Amino acid sequence: MYLFSDRKFIVVEEAGIPETEIEELEKEISEYGGTIISWKDRLESDNTPQLVMVADNVDFPHFHELQNLMVPTVTPDWIKESIKVGKKVPMRPYSPDPRNFLSKVQICCSGLSKGDTDAISAGVRAVGGDCNKELNRYTTHVIATDIKTDICETALACGFDIKVVSPEWVDDCIKLRCKLNEDPYLLTNKPKGHHDSAESDLAGTYSMDQTPRLAVQSSVRHDLGSSLFEGRVFYLNEDLDLSERLLKTIIFLIETNSGVITQNLEDAGVYLGKWREGEGYKYASNHKLVVGNLTWLYWMIIQKQWDTPLKWLLHYPEVRGGLPDMVHVTVAITNYTGDSRTYLQTLTNSLGAKYTGSLIQNTTTHLIAAYAGGPKYEAAKSWGIKIMNHLWLEETYAMWQLQPETLPRYTHLPTRLDMTTLIGSTHLVPQVLRQFYSDKHEPERFPLPSRAARTKANEGLHESVLKENQFQKQKRYKALPDLPSNDSPNLTDLNSTPPEPQRSEIIEKQVKRAKKCASPEPMLRIMVTGLDTPPTRQKCAKANLHLTENPPASVLVAPRILRTAKFLSSLAEVESCVTPDWLEASFNAGHPADPKQYAIESESLQEALQRSADLRANNKGLFSGLTFRLLPDVKGGPKVVEQIVKAHKGAITKRKNESVLVGGESSAVTLDDVINCILTMDASRFSSEVV
């Protein structure tokens, strides 16, 4: 089978490719089995399996129409690179669309919260990049806050040019709409003698270079502001589970495009959330707010157009846990490429099914195929794996009900029609969505629309969206005074009233919750260190926990006894050291769990904590009355060791008399001696080391 035998190509003459290169390009495509067609051929025939547009820019007719159909457009370099390596390489890195300024970026997140990982992935995909849960040969960047995770260490040791950067790199790229130089954001070993990070392992300190500069790597720049969201008030639901840093980025993007943020759901016209559940989602849906997710928000910002989130299946909040009937389904995909393949992968995961890149006998249950042909298709037939078209996935998701696997509508693969031309044509059904927010909803079975009916609905969709937006605007904003400027948003002057005469019970519950948070009962202060995925402050607050980076704190969460500056310093203050299981128990209970049941298993550590408590009761610390002089060659660096010593109420001096001299391996007292004293809470040996 030739490399391009399953593809048909249109080389766009008016899209920047020189005429001499077009001839050479078409010759190479033909030599490797591809078929060259004209745009006229495309209009006159549906027999265009896996159509690929080849262009150096997107300034040609029908580009946006093709984009909506998920027909890929690539530069000539995709053809050349595929021929060079002998296989079709991923298409996203070869997009000529200037809006896809991260098209050559494939990220893998490590050590971030689920909310941040999902939001960063959605942002990167919206601007042309791709995301994977694990490292692979195409990974270009690892997004992390701690270089000590397994993924980060593997990326640095593998020999490939994988850049490990902080999440701020993605934030700033999206804010400025261009690819930035990664150097200021790299998580790397600091130069020898430079040790400022209190969180670093003292056996080898790592920290992020905080160089305050933004070096633009892409020559393409875009307008940073617009009136896209003018007159629209957004409410960001807490289930987005965003860190404070990423929350600020989302707010920046909304306000830059003339939108307004409110913390009062009653004032909002647009609701952004992660899940189809919770009081906020139900209130927004019942009160006819526009409900969408972050993928929808990013899509509108990049496309510079407002559209209903019901048009695309993945622009609306998901169902936590997926569809129960799909949990045991394992899906493979064949004959779909580029954005259409990524879309189907995401849809599979959102349904709760498992996606596998390879067809595995006795494991893969369904193969989603665009047409009848190819190695996976033939293997699936011989192994008895169910072969479906993508409409089965889409309509199972839209109807939120497993669709019959034997229905010809889902098993038929036309010989004269490529199914990729229909991808994305299924929309969410408002009547189906009611089951997630209406207490009075009774499950119904909705007849599937005919192809003619769906075509007619698609033709009238644009007009319906315009009418809906106009209606919502008049209904919600007509009675409002001019919205405040972005510089000083002030929603307290908005005299709007909800359409319904009664106030929602949801808002009353929010007020009660706010009063509860303001009650005299203090939140338990905690610190965490050494976790691959640290919890967010928002999630901790729900369990009445206050996550802090600095002492004082009552509980330290760590996977084991660590030699980090934070762990060692916190032993002067905390009452308990617990495993991460304590966090999960607290989150599930909605309040702090008993630390004793989740204490780190170490008798010596528990004895050290008791001695530390006794010292605090007498207003003393482990190193009270001791003065330390730190030599430049002390392991970990003088600044980090000074922080630890001072946390235990020791003093630091530069004088050469009456002090404990702490230096490198050849010194009488080393950092290891200091650490051992802290872990046992016994500093008696230092009394004989004063010089």
Query: Which pLDDT tens digit goes with each residue over 404-439?
Result: 999 999 999 887 776 777 888 899 999 999 999 987
For CA atoms 407, 410, 411, 414, give the dihedral sign. positive
Amino acid at 224: L
What is the mean predicted confidence (pLDDT) over 145-149? 89
What is the mean predicted confidence (pLDDT) over 271-282? 95
H-run or E-run covering 249? helix 244-256
Residues contacting residue 616 through CB under 8 Å, at least 6 positions apart: 572, 573
Q: Which runs of consecutive H residues, i.e. helices, occur in 257-293?
A: 278-286
Is the pLDDT at 170 greater than 90? The verdict is yes
Among the ranges given (200-204, 228-232, 269-273), the one the predictor scored with the smallest mean pLDDT: 200-204
Interatomic CA distance for residues 508 and 263, integer angstroms: 14
- Which pair of tokens denotes residue 72? 């890929």
Is the pLDDT at 399 greater than 50? The verdict is yes
Q: 216 forms bridges with which residues in the sheet?
A: 180
Neighbours of 220 (CB within 10 A): 12
Among the ranges given (356-360, 515-519, 573-577), the one the predictor scored with the smallest mean pLDDT: 515-519
Interatomic CA distance for residues 611 and 617, integer angstroms: 10
Is the pLDDT at 212 greater than 50? The verdict is no
Among the ranges given (55-69, 193-207, 578-592), the one the predictor scored with the smallest mean pLDDT: 193-207
pLDDT grade for 166, boundaries at 50, 70 and 90: very high
Please list the residue range(s) of the chain that carry CATH number 3.40.50.10190: 8-92, 106-208, 233-318, 324-432, 524-601
Residues contacting residue 689 through CB under 8 Å, at least 6 positions apart: 660, 661, 668, 669
pLDDT (0 to 100) of residue 223 = 52
Interatomic CA distance for residues 478 and 233, integer angstroms: 13
Residues recorded for the chain:
691
pLDDT (0 to 100) of residue 40 = 64
Closest CA to 384 of 358, 409, 366: 366
Q: 525 forms bridges with which residues in the sheet?
A: 546
Is the pLDDT at 677 greater than 50? The verdict is yes
- List pLDDT tens digits, range 493-532: 434 444 444 444 544 554 454 444 444 456 888 999 988 8
pLDDT (0 to 100) of residue 482 = 39
Interatomic CA distance for residues 575 and 572, integer angstroms: 9
Closest CA to 142 of 123, 158, 156, 129: 156
Is the pLDDT at 173 greater than 80? The verdict is yes
- CATH code that applies to domain 524-601: 3.40.50.10190
pLDDT (0 to 100) of residue 477 = 43
Look at domain 8-92 and name its CATH class.
alpha beta
pLDDT (0 to 100) of residue 634 = 85
Interatomic CA distance for residues 57 and 16, integer angstroms: 6
Q: 629 forms bridges with which residues in the sheet?
A: 661
Mean pLDDT of the chain: 80
Residues contacting residue 191 through CB under 8 Å, at least 6 positions apart: none
658 exposed, middle or buried (CB, 10 Å; 0-12, 13-18, 19+)? exposed
Q: Mark 108-141 as b/e (b = at least 16 C-beta within 10 Å).
A: bbbbbbebbbbbbbbbbbbbbbbbeeebeeebbb
Is the pLDDT at 272 greater than 50? The verdict is yes
pLDDT (0 to 100) of residue 690 = 55
- Tell me if the domain spanning 106-208 has CATH number 3.40.50.10190: yes
Is the pLDDT at 687 greater than 80? The verdict is no
Do 103 and 93 meet the contact criterion of CB atoms below 8 Å apart? Answer: yes
Residues contacting residue 472 through CB under 8 Å, at least 6 positions apart: 269, 288, 290
Classified as helix, coil or strand, 200 is coil
Question: What percent of the chain has pLDDT above 70?
Answer: 79
Interatomic CA distance for residues 673 and 29, integer angstroms: 69
- Inter-axis angle of helices 244-256 and 114-126, nearest 10: 30
Is the pLDDT at 443 greater than 50? The verdict is no
Interatomic CA distance for residues 428 and 246, integer angstroms: 28
pLDDT (0 to 100) of residue 136 = 85
Spell out the SS3 assignment of 112-165. Answer: CCHHHHHHHHHHHHHCCCEECCCCCCCCCEEEECCCCCHHHHHHHHCCCCCEEE
pLDDT (0 to 100) of residue 193 = 40
Do 559 and 579 meet the contact criterion of CB atoms below 8 Å apart? Answer: yes
Do 356 and 330 meet the contact criterion of CB atoms below 8 Å apart? Answer: yes
Question: Which comes out higher in pLDDT, residue 176 or 688?
Answer: 176
Interatomic CA distance for residues 414 and 519, integer angstroms: 65
Q: What is the largest CA-CA distance in the chain?
A: 94
Is the pLDDT at 190 greater than 60? The verdict is no
pLDDT grade for 470, boundaries at 50, 70 and 90: low
Closest CA to 332 of 270, 376, 271: 376
Residues contacting residue 384 through CB under 8 Å, at least 6 positions apart: none
pLDDT grade for 15, boundaries at 50, 70 and 90: low
Question: Which comes out higher in pLDDT, residue 569 or 532?
Answer: 569
pLDDT grade for 402, boundaries at 50, 70 and 90: very high
Is the pLDDT at 140 greater than 90? The verdict is yes
CA atoms within 13 A on the CB side of 269: 24
What is the mean predicted confidence (pLDDT) over 117-131? 90
Per DSSP, 266 falls in state G
pLDDT grade for 393, boundaries at 50, 70 and 90: very high
Is the pLDDT at 197 greater than 50? The verdict is no
Spell out the SS3 assignment of 416-451. Answer: CCCHHHHCCCCCCCHHHHHHHCCCCCCCCCCCCCCH
- List pLDDT tens digits, range 303-355: 888 999 999 999 999 999 999 999 999 999 998 887 888 899 999 999 999 99
Closest CA to 289 of 477, 150, 449: 477
- Which pair of tokens denotes residue 302? 């990049």
Neighbours of 167 (CB within 10 A): 21
What is the mean predicted confidence (pLDDT) over 177-184? 90
Question: Which comes out higher in pLDDT, residue 333 or 486?
Answer: 333
User: What's the topology of domain 324-432?
Assistant: Rossmann fold (3.40.50)
492 exposed, middle or buried (CB, 10 Å; 0-12, 13-18, 19+)? exposed
pLDDT (0 to 100) of residue 279 = 93
Is the pLDDT at 165 greater than 90? The verdict is yes
Neighbours of 473 (CB within 10 A): 13
Q: Name, of 488-492, 499-503, 567-571, the range with top average pLDDT.
A: 567-571
Do 199 and 529 meet the contact criterion of CB atoms below 8 Å apart? Answer: yes
Interatomic CA distance for residues 325 and 408, integer angstroms: 20
- Tell me if the domain spanning 233-318 has CATH number 3.40.50.10190: yes
